Structure 1
Amino acid sequence: MEIHLKNLTIGAFANAAGVNVETIRFYQRKGLLLEPDRPYGSIRRYGGSDVARVKFVKSAQRLGFSLDEIGELLKLEDGAHCSEASEIAALRLVDVRARLTDLARMEAALSKLVDECCARHGQVSCPLIEALHGD
């Protein structure tokens, strides 16, 4: 979906994309966003396609893709490489599922410790603090 904006300064571009100016510069250094030419004696200008690209990067980050993976996805964005994009997403999905398993274990352990803390009124020793000190 093309955003119909043109002739934006970097500040207006960042605002339209919902990021700050340093994010734009960082994406340029990482090769995720091209730095437009600077007309002689003037400032760089950005357009709707630049805004759309930054929004793509931010959406991919929210799904857990690394900047390197996002760079690969951007190279495939013409739609003709769906199987390659799917492979990148499948690897991300494996990672997300592993994190969910880890988070479930963490939730169970913390829940148990909180329950133990609540059950021990008036004792000096705290099960949570003891558990964090390790055995």
Structure 2
Amino acid sequence: MEALSSSVKRHTIMLVDDEESILNSLRRLLRVKPYDLLLATSGAQALELFEQHSVDLIVCDARMPFMDGPTLLREVYKRDPECMNILLTGYADMSMITQALSDGYIFRYISKPWNDEELQLTLDQALEVQRVLRDRENPQALVGG
């Protein structure tokens, strides 16, 4: 069983929210998944961590002081368009969400309070889309050469 679990690719996921309670809830939810989690309480801290680590996916609150989620995710997209970005929103600011989706720098948005199964499914889908895109860009990886 140990050999099987070690063959599972670990993904690095960053969780960004200015509320510690939200970060703790997300961390508890995702602790059973094969993820290495990074936690940030601000956009500036998230960008700092992003520069220090290879991040596969970011789950970010839409409304934070100093730098909101869409601004952070737009900056992340400029630095690494392969990083999958998911916006958490507790507010129905559909114009902000629609703009972020149409600009292509977020994969999806999830409303707060979230449904645990929906959130986990969305993360799995985002990582699968990322894997397919990376395999398409690197066809040699598919044949092991």
TM-score, with structure 1 as normaliser: 0.31
Bigger-Rg structure (1/2): 1
Q: Normalization by structure 2: what TM-score?
A: 0.29
